Structure 1
């Protein structure tokens, strides 16, 4: 059996250091109860920021602590699949008989659906996703995927086939992003793998790059930190543009890969590498300016709608905040977050994730009232999204542990949102 996180901590502590559990806890800045619970396998997971502190105290990379239990914990989040996902599952993992024919319902597709109409389906589903309207996004996804597949099949190997493959790649990328958000990680892997296959078949390097960036997000959610760092760095090297002549799409695809690589490096206690990637990303974002906010070209406008809205100067700032959080520097995270407050380019889902970092930083600096205020703001604006976030549950638990009486009414409201039907 592969060792757990706690097994690895105990082995490293006993075999390569002279630290007691109490000394490790003090050096890492965590409670001795946390170390004991992990080493005794009473807890099989911990926040990446906590693991980061322990890894630094032991003098190893965070990935050295990871075991099968860490990945299992991430996957356990997907244990309650909403019935509404049946249609998506049928589209991504159909059942076939011995002759190869699909068994079960078929998603009807309009025979004459053309490229612009399929793009419209992807755009509609993307809007629902960013509006946190997951019920609508779930309903729109099966016909979107069926239409994209049918478009590719009809186009064949023609020039139009290249465009069809590109659109299909973005359709499956969106399905993957939605499924990650809904914690359906195995299904998300199928969708993103298919998105990458479509992009490669089309020889569309930029579509392949954005699909890879989403795959990096998925791998981060399952604890595969080292793979993300390698995958993001290699792909960024392949698509790296000349800053002076790069198109908005070139810059966006390259930049978002750097952000994913920085996220992985930060999680692996490699802050210098994370900062280097963020410096490169900042240069790309400066060159990009607002060309993806107000693109002149129709293809770029569509790219912004469905795949290119995650990279900009504010996106780099968001990752700088996240890196500070992972490094256990809440004061720095709060200072950096001030620059992001009014950035119009930030998508709702990215801003919501950022606000969880802000709430965590407030709680870590003893400002539980401010942390609760931010969480209440998220509860009012995006309850469906908040309900999917384990990070939010951990922050609320921390507040409850320290301020149960003073904040009981607001915490009760937050608990009702987090514990409501997914």
Structure 2
């Protein structure tokens, strides 16, 4: 095993905004919880467990801690926060799926996983109401009590006439018919870190190193003793050339939680489709030799850096999505791959420009901001190429319109 305390130099973090004493105390409380967990586990925990504490620890984790996360005053901005055009356009795809399901079962619902601020739900329901195609129920599965409260306030403020259609869940239903949506959910699932060194695989975990009165979290690599993780890591070794396997150090993420989620969705979806939108790649690109330090990122007040030990509980921790792994996870189920493309192609296929055109270009005050927002959603230099859309379904009757052009399944 090896211990690495030089995860990020202090100078690399010196440009990040400072926090006030209240926020710092909050972070130190979470740090203490994680430190105790490490001690109880014998001095080491897998990074996936550290990430779970940092993001989801009740009352202290990033998604349960009370600070603003989304939008200009938060740490990052998602597509629904950028523009209502995102939800309005997505409604076109949801309507097609609802029509299928309604023809088979008589009713179609929507289930959104991790609804963020609730903005996507608001925009989607407003557009479906405009099209006279409201779902019977709009379910939101939200693990964060704090975000759930914010969502409830937003929906009550923006769409009070529709709030009776919305219900919050604490667990997935046993069966579901309709559209399942997950926008930037998979990237926030705790991931395992794996280090390939020569022809061996190690799991990268977290330990606590004490220095006199102070201390810090540090990396420590250990042989993999998680069977599922070991099998996946071994299978991924095939992506490395024989020369690399002889003398090569490569660190990346394996998201077992995403695979488990896909298998669960395959079990509950009886008719309809699941649409997942996130940043990431197919497997060949995800584990490309040049991406030897992985994709792990942290977001703090619109600054991106790579130190997950910085102010735990006050920053987001994410990794890109391996979309090939999602497909592999449902290979032995009756869930079918319906499409895979970029966010730009998906939105344009669903008529984003036509929805923009509902605002006359002559109305410069309203049109130009919307046009600029759409540019951010579809531009290759912004979200258009890095973000992908993948869909899986059951009992589908026709191709999804969101994937009519720009097919990327060859990259899986």
Structure number with the bigger relative contact order (C-alpha 8 A, sep ≥ 6) is 2
Same fold (TM over 0.5): no
Instruction: Return the TM-score normalized by structure 1.
Output: 0.28
Q: Which has the higher helix share?
A: 1
Instruction: Return the TM-score normalized by structure 2.
Output: 0.29
